[in-house]
């Protein structure tokens, strides 16, 4: 019985080591500074700081991949989350959005933050301080609501 446990354990360790050799591809292209949210929308430093702290890790190619992003199985889950997040909202290619879509995305982000849906609940414990404070959310929402409706916003087509 002991021998079976040792063999099973050794096989599990071997499988885990083999799985580590597969490196994830986060598909983070080089970012052109002129196409980013910061360059297009010119948010004030408080808004910029809030977004970089709470959103950019998943919603931008400028985010940093944490150490566990290279360890299977978390790397697979993180890769999936980042791809899904950037498909919905990508601060790295903001100038691809029309002014109307830009405003819609910002108001949607406001709503998600107000309802504590972003950042995701399972992201917060691993990244203390990633959830914006109610004051930061209010400031972001006020800023987003103050943007002109239907007009060209700097950097947008």
Give the pTM. 0.76
d(CA 4, CA 119): 44
| pLDDT by position in tens, the chain (length 157) | 888 898 898 888 877 777 666 666 666 667 787 888 988 888 999 999 999 999 998 898 887 778 778 777 788 888 888 889 988 999 998 988 888 898 899 999 999 999 999 998 888 888 888 899 999 999 999 999 998 775 444 444 3
Per DSSP, the residues of 62-108 read TSPPPGGGGSTTHHHHHHHHHHHHHHH--GGGGGGS-HHHHHHHHHH
User: Which residue, among 43, 66, 50, has the nearest Cα to 119 in the 3D structure?
Assistant: 50
* Counts for the chain of helices (H) and strands (E), in that order: 7, 0
Cβ(92)–Cβ(61) below 8 Å:
yes
């Amino acid at each position: 019985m002991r021998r079976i446990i040792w063999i099973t354990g050794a096989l599990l360790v071997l499988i885990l080591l083999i799985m580590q050799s597969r490196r994830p591809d986060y598909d983070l292209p080089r970012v052109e500074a002129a196409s980013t949210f910061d360059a297009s929308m010119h948010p004030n430093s408080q808004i910029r700081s809030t977004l970089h702290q709470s959103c950019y890790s998943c919603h931008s190619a400028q985010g940093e991949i944490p150490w566990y992003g290279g360890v299977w199985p978390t790397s697979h889950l993180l890769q999936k989350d980042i791809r899904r997040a950037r498909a919905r909202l990508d601060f790295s290619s903001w100038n691809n959005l029309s002014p109307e879509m830009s405003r819609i995305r910002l108001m949607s982000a406001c709503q998600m933050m107000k309802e504590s849906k972003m950042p995701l609940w399972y992201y917060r414990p691993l990244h203390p301080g990633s959830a914006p404070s109610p004051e930061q959310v209010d400031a972001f929402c006020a800023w987003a609501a103050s943007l002109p409706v239907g007009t060209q916003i700097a950097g947008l087509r």
